[in-house]
Structure formats: structure tokens, C-alpha cells
Amino acid sequence: MDIPKALTIAGLDSGAGAGVTADLKTFHALGVYGMVALTSVTAQNTVEVRSISDVPSNVVEDEVNVVAEDIGVDAAKTGMLSNAEIIVTVSRVVKKWGFPLVVDPVMVAKSGARLLREDAVDALRRYLLPVALVVTPNIPEAEVLTGISITNISDMRKAAQLISKDLGTPIVIVKGGHLEGLESIDVVYDSRNNEFHELKSPRVNTKNTHGTGCSFSAAIAAGLAKGLDELSAITNAKRFITDAIIYSLNLGHGHGPVNSLASLYIESAKYDSVMDSIKAAKKLISAGFKRGFAVSLLSLDYFKKGNEGIYVEFNNEISEPIFGVPPVLGSLAAQAIGKGLRGIIAVEHEGSGVPSNVHLVEIQDKKYALVMGSTATDAVDSFLMALTK
């Protein structure tokens, strides 16, 4: 089996919210084989960085060389490169191998601790950015790299152009997470065609954003490793990190980590719901019911918009699973959510009498018997049991 390969050249966060651990989770979630060249070890949690120990630059160089020589590198990213010697070494070895590089110019940890020494900023400008394909500064980092104040989208555009023109990176993404507003807007500038793009997502009200920059840049590198064009890789990474923030993890007493595995959990929840709705419909058909719905709402942990679910209709035969909730059952889905339930079944019913746990509802001028349960299959079992009493 052939698989795309991506390398992270970054530091270790012992709390596993950022750094190489976050990068590897992102690579693997996106179907890319992840490799590591460790640059520093940090004793870190969601509240503080207690101590830092840098890996010798010759060891960092060996780490990159051994994986490039043997396994190969389709794309790479850098994170924490704390001193000038490591930056110069990484720049040289990246230039030697020629793989596309995404630079996350990590300067300060979420807790406020400085991760890039003051005297290393010049090395970052002079050596690393000229060999990078993409650089992803947030607003404070872009201000350090350009020397200008950034307070709006126009300033972000100006900063992106300055970084590309003066420091030599073809594609610059100035991230807008530090600005105010209902949307989080990132400005992408591609100097090769002098084009700007704005990537927008709803701003998520959470303190749990540790590892955002690491995971975003790793997702871009993963896309490049898979052969995507740059803008597609960046756009996909924006969607990826938005989900990771929406489903972030409330761990520790400070800034909890984003959930780089959210996309896998969501797909797993969708699969479980598909199988649940189909199993429920098959049971109803086997019991002699000819027409109805089986709805399986996604796991409540991944129920952020209020109506995500999978359902099937059956009229002797089962339809293809449909993502969402039948419009006629929308209010009932909200009731189920309120009760902590995930399953709804509705079957066409003739007559007026129903067991006590079954509700009669009118759907499209027809009466349906409706039952809620912990799953759609559970709702069917409750319904059939009630009918035998």
C-alpha cells in the first residue's frame, strides 16, 4: 500500500495539545503517514511552559536526513525552532532535499511563554522563509515579521504582500483569529499570480484553542503531500481546523487543545447512525410494516447544529441513507435531543388505538405511530414490545 508521507520538524509539548503530537494526529486523521524531526522538548501543559530543552542542531539535521533518505518526504512543516542555529540547519537540509515546506512561525505559546528567541527572528527571516512554499503567521507573528500594526483585513493583506515580497515566501496566510467579529477570516496571498483569497469560518466561542496553528499548518502539509494544489490544501485545512476548534477538548485548567481527530469521530458517528437507521428499518419491514421512517441522530457529543442525523425512508424497500432529519420530523428531533435520545421511528398506522409509549402524529395527511429511543433500533424494540402487551 502506497501512502503520502509528511514530516513535522517541531517541538514536543508534553501535554500533547500542540507540537509534533498535534501534527502527527493531524497527518494520520487526513490519511498521511507522519514522521518527526524533534527540535525541542518542552515541559508544558494547558497553563504553562515550565522548561525547554533544545535538541542539538546536528541531531535535528540527522533526523531529517534519515527519513528523507529511506522513507521519503512528500511535504513537511516546521513548528517550534527556538534558536538561530536550528533554523539555519533546518533551512539548509530542506533546501538540500527540495520538498515543499509549510512554515508555522511559532514565536509564543498559548500560555504566553516565548518559544522563539529574540535573536532567532532574523534567522527565520533570512534563512527559513526564503526556502518555504507557505508561511502561516497569526497577526502578532505577522506584526513581528513586517514591523507594521495589523488591526483589520486591509492591514492583513498589506502584511501578506510584505512578507512575500521582502522575505521570499510565495504563499502567505495571515490568520485572523486575533481580530474581533462574528467570522474568523484568514487572508491568503499568492505572489506567483498576485492573487488574494479570503477564507471565512464562523468564530467559535471557546478558550480551547491550544494547537490551532500547529494543526492548521500540518493539515496544509498533509494536503500538499497528497498532491493537492496549494489553494485546495489550504482551503481543506481551514475546514479541518474549524471542526477541530468546534469540537475542541475541555482538558486542563487553561487553554484546552483543539480536537485534531474530530473529523474521524464525526465520520465514525455518521457510520454508526447509518447502520442504526438501516437496522431499524429492516426490523420494521420484517415485522410487517410497509411504510415509515427510521432516524438515527448523531452522537450528542457531535450534535452542534441541532439537527444532524441520518435517516432512511421505507415503502416496502429501504431508501439510500440521507444526511439530515426529515423536515416533517424536525420538531420531534428537537424533542428527542432535549430528552437525550438519538432514535426516532415512525410507521404508517391505521386506526386510533396505540400503546401508551407510542404517539400518533400526522405526516402528509396520514397517521403515523412514532416512538423515540436511545437509538433507532432501541425505538423499534420498544415499539414491537408495546404491541405485544
Q: Spot the catalytic one: 26, 39, 89, 209.
A: 209
The letter for the amino acid at 59 is: V
Q: Is 375 one of the annotated active-site residues of the chain?
A: no
Question: Of 15, 176, 177, 213, which one is the catalytic site residue?
Answer: 213
Q: How many CB atoms lie within 10 A of CB 332?
A: 19
The active-site residue, picked from 25, 158, 175, 238, is 175
Q: How far apart are CA 241 and CA 211, in angstroms?
A: 10
Distances (CA, A) of 98 to 91, 114, 129, 132: 10, 30, 14, 10
Among candidate residues 212, 242, 375, 377, the one labeled active-site is: 212
129, 168 contact by CB (below 8 A): yes
What is the maximum alpha-carbon separation in the chain? 82
Q: Determine the Cα angle at 316 with ends 310 and 320, to 5°.
A: 30
Pairing of strands 5-13, 366-373: unpaired
Amino acid at 332: L
Q: Name the active-site residue from 110, 177, 214, 373.
A: 214
All cell numbers assigned to 317: 424497500
Q: Is 209 a catalytic residue?
A: yes
Helix axes 139-146, 153-167, angle to 10 degrees: 50
Catalytic-role residue among 177, 211, 309, 373 = 211
CB 58 within 8 A of CB 65: no
Instruction: Give the separation between CA 49 and CA 2, rounded to whole angstroms.
Output: 38
CB neighbour burial string for 286-320, b if at least 16 within 10 angstroms, e if fewer:
eeebebbbbbbbbbeebeeeeebbbbbbbeeebee
**Can 213 be counted among the known catalytic residues?**
yes
77 beta partners: 8, 102
Measured CA to CA, the distance from residue 389 to residue 387 in angstroms comes to 6
Beta strand pairing call for 291-297 and 343-348:
antiparallel
Interstrand relation of 317-318 and 309-315 (parallel, antiparallel or unpaired):
antiparallel
Q: Would you call 175 a catalytic residue per the annotation?
A: yes
The catalytic site residues sit at 175, 209, 211-214
